[in-house]
Amino acid sequence: MAPTRAALISCLSDEEIAEIRAEASHYEYPQAASIEALKVVQKHRGWVSDESLREVARLLDMSAEQLDGVATFYSLIFRRPVGDNMLMLCDGISCWMLGCEKIKAHIESRLGIGYGETTPDNKFTLIPVTCQGACDRAPVLLENMRLHTHLSNDKIDQLLAQTEAEKPQ
Amino acid sequence: MTDRPLTQHIDLSRPPYDLAQYEDVGGYAGARKVITEMTPAQGLEILKDSGLRGRGGAGFPTGVKWSFVPMYNTPAPTKYIVANADEMEPGTFKDRLLMEGCPHLLVEGMIVGAYILQANIGYIFIRGEYIEAAQLLNEAIAECRKKGYLGERILGGDWSFELHVHTSAGRYICGEETALLNSLEGKRATPRAKPPFPQVSGLWGRPTIVNNVETLCNLPQIVLLGADWFKQLSLTDDAGTKLYGVSGRVNTPGCWELPMGTSARELIERHAGGMCDGYQLKTFLPGGGSTPLLLPEHLDTPMDYTHIGKLGSRLGTGTVIVIDDQVDFIGALKNLEHFFSQESCGFCTPCRDGLPWVEKALHNIECGSGSRADLDWLRRATWMLNMGNTFCAHAPGAMGPLDSALKFFPDEFERRLP
């Protein structure tokens, strides 16, 4: 990739660009790193804005439309702003049989939000995720990609208190 | 000789072995043996003789699949080997155990496999949520680069191999091998038409092998201890051991490496500690969310590809989902069909449009507002969305539990109609 290109990129940080280029070096074509590049941006910013998307596309020699087609296909790429903390509740069959709907109801009553919503103070976003491959420890959720297992209402209360006490990322 | 080639070095109460510890217990002996003592053709011969079948769900003989990869004289064009670590089949939690418990085993399996195929570049395609596994694999790969198990001219020979971890970002369809290749190329994960098969024209049009994590993890011990050893591990004609799991209302859900052909009764009653108090086994999915239901009368059937296939179901991933007598049966079925509907890639019409209608009909029946037309549609869907009418196996997989539910439990549907 031409070194001059970095100068054209104003929105992405040097760190983001370096991480994206490291991922792109694993493939024959830079476009192959599109998903990982979007994840790099998301790691730093929480979500992928139109502006970020355009600049990632430029960095990978793709059109923004092509990259948006990729971004909107994958469920773990967020094209809308999300809260400081992501709660991703597993709704796989084993978690469902062991009561994930009750856990969902408890989170909803505690935070006042349903699936796809963010609390007014921007602290939490709640979304469902597919089977997390931890069915022997159901029900489970991911809190900022950290796995929590054998969920109960008490565990949710502890988790919310702990997460709220921690500084937002 | 071990009788647990996959899990012999796994102990979740401690961190997984690093390279030195793994070598101390015999790690990379399989890779050393195949690279320094065997030709790729000899390696492939052992693999064919071993009878190893793909552990991702389809159960296709691995050696046969690999024999379609062209072997070139130098200068050879690039070939790829890909580990399918996109474990997303509902109720499946076995590859996580392998990668979190012994990441070096998968790396060694990929080195052995890549040598046999004379592949130069490998990718581990891992689902985005398996953060810890991806990190452990990256650490293992870095150790191997330093030691010379990966990189240029491995172990002094003239074969070079580089290995990378690709972390995905959701979508079940990425586990379909041609969709996985599109995803790895940075595209939307829609399946490709076959032929050409990936063995001939895969990643960027080059010969590519995609195999499940568990399949690849079997390779080091197969080349080290031989095909006969691998066959005698099994109780039946399908060779080797299998990672079996049980989840649902059982006392001790979990995942265990056992001889291939262990019965579901032994899994549920012995290893999973039986049903929880007050719950009875109603039915079970033998190997993940897309495998047709089986009944208590099938509990003593050996859990292998051949026997479960004869019952009209599939061994799938070998992770049993137990459905008890107190679960809302239609609700459980709707949960599964909601998953398949949501995860359709949207490319072909029967799948994209049919699966949401299946979910809707089940929803109506669940809520008591269903009609005869809903039930008729469900019956029709089991052939309209089945093999031959769709572009890939996604919708036919979704029809597995539905078709068997209509066959085994017609009353569950009938009595919910107003």
Domain boundaries, chain A: 5-73, 85-165
Tell me the C-alpha to C-alpha distance, in Å, between residue B155 and each of A60, A153, B32, B217, B312.
Answer: 36, 55, 8, 21, 47
Q: Which position has the token pair 């921007």?
A: A122
Peptide bond into B286 cis (omega under 30): no
CA atoms within 13 A on the CB side of A99: 11
Verify whether the Cβ–Cβ distance A35 to B169 is below 8 Å: yes
Verify whether the Cβ–Cβ distance A94 to B167 is below 8 Å: no
Q: Indicate if the pLDDT at residue B275 is higher than 60.
A: yes
C-alpha span between A70 and B334 (Å, rounded) = 28
Tell me the C-alpha to C-alpha distance, in Å, between residue B219 and each of A41, B111, B316, B404.
Answer: 37, 9, 20, 35
CA distance A138 to chain B (A): 8
**From the DSSP assignment, how many helices (H) and strands (E) are in chain A?**
8, 5
pLDDT tens-digit map of B33-54: 999 999 999 999 999 999 999 9
Nearest C-alpha in B relative to A25: B164
- Percent of chain A with pLDDT strictly greater than 90: 89
By Cβ distance, the residue of B167, B188, B289 closest to A39 is B167
The reply to whether B329-414 shares the fold of B241-324 is no
**How much is the pLDDT for B261?**
97
Q: Return the CATH fold of A85-165.
A: Glutaredoxin (3.40.30)
Q: What SS3 state is found at A98?
A: coil
Contacts of B132 (CB under 8 A, 6+ apart): B100
Contacts of A129 in chain B (CB under 8 A): 129, 170
Inform me whether the C-beta atom of residue A167 falls under 8 Å from chain B C-beta atoms.
no
Domain B329-414, classified CATH 3.30.70.890, yes or no: no
> Which tokens in the block code for residue A33?
């790193």
Residue of A62, A133, A51, A93 lying closest to B335 (CA atoms): A93
C-alpha span between A125 and A88 (Å, rounded) = 8
C-alpha span between B303 and B3 (Å, rounded) = 18
Verify whether the Cβ–Cβ distance A93 to B168 is below 8 Å: no
The reply to whether A85-165 shares the fold of A5-73 is no
> Which tokens in the block code for residue B181?
């290749």
Contacts of B249 in chain A (CB under 8 A): 97-98
Contacts of A98 in chain B (CB under 8 A): 248-249
Residue of B288, B245, B248 lying closest to B398 (CA atoms): B288
Inform me whether the C-beta atom of residue A11 falls under 8 Å from chain B C-beta atoms.
no
Angular region, A144: left φ>0, alpha ψ -120 to 50, beta rest? left
Contact B134, B93 (CB under 8 A): no
pLDDT tens-digit map of A37-71: 999 999 999 999 999 999 999 999 999 999 999 99
C-alpha span between B373 and B294 (Å, rounded) = 27
Q: At what angle do helices B103-117 and B131-147 cross, to 10 degrees?
A: 60
C-alpha span between B289 and A73 (Å, rounded) = 22
Domain B19-232, classified CATH 3.40.50.620, yes or no: no
Q: Indicate if the pLDDT at residue B99 is higher than 60.
A: yes
**What is the arithmetic mean of pLDDT over A96-124?**
97
Contacts of A28 in chain B (CB under 8 A): 78, 204
One-letter amino acid for residue B224 of the chain: L
Tell me the C-alpha to C-alpha distance, in Å, between residue B252 and each of B245, B273, B324, B376.
Answer: 10, 5, 15, 39
pLDDT tens-digit map of B287-305: 999 999 999 999 999 999 9
Verify whether the Cβ–Cβ distance A75 to B169 is below 8 Å: yes
Q: Residues in chain B, how many? A: 418
Q: Return the CATH fold of B241-324.
A: Ubiquitin-like (UB roll) (3.10.20)
Q: Indicate if the pLDDT at residue A93 is higher than 70.
A: yes
Q: Which position has the token pair 């418990």?
A: B101
Which H or E run includes A124?
strand A124-129
Tell me the C-alpha to C-alpha distance, in Å, between residue B7 and each of A64, A160, B243.
Answer: 45, 36, 9
**How much is the pLDDT for A167?**
59
Q: Which position has the token pair 């009909």?
A: B361
Domain boundaries, chain B: 19-232, 241-324, 329-414
Q: Is the dihedral of CA A31, A34, A40, A44 positive or negative?
A: positive
By Cβ distance, the residue of B245, B289, B345 closest to A136 is B245
Nearest C-alpha in A relative to B126: A36
pLDDT tens-digit map of B184-202: 999 999 999 999 999 999 9
Instruction: Tell me the backbone φ, ψ of residue B288, rounded to 5 degrees.
Output: 105, 170
By Cβ distance, the residue of B127, B204, B247 closest to A138 is B247
Nearest C-alpha in A relative to B345: A73
Verify whether the Cβ–Cβ distance B92 to A70 is below 8 Å: no
Contact B101, B12 (CB under 8 A): yes
By Cβ distance, the residue of A74, A93, A98 closest to B171 is A74
Contacts of B100 (CB under 8 A, 6+ apart): B12, B16, B132, B133, B136
Nearest C-alpha in A relative to B344: A73
As its CATH architecture, domain A5-73 has Orthogonal Bundle (1.10)
Verify whether the Cβ–Cβ distance B248 to A132 is below 8 Å: no
CA-based angle A144:A149:A153, to the nearest 5?
90
CA distance A69 to chain B (A): 7
Task: Give the β-pairing of B208-212 and B80-85.
Answer: parallel
Per-residue pLDDT band for A168 (boundaries 50, 70, 90) equals: low
Per-chain mean pLDDT for chain A: 92
Per-residue pLDDT band for B77 (boundaries 50, 70, 90) equals: confident
**How much is the pLDDT for A6?**
47
CA distance A16 to chain B (A): 17
Contact B308, B317 (CB under 8 A): no
Q: What SS3 state is found at A78?
A: coil
**What is the arithmetic mean of pLDDT over B51-78?**
91
pTM above 0.80, yes or no: yes
Per-residue pLDDT band for A7 (boundaries 50, 70, 90) equals: very low
Inform me whether the C-beta atom of residue A69 falls under 8 Å from chain B C-beta atoms.
yes
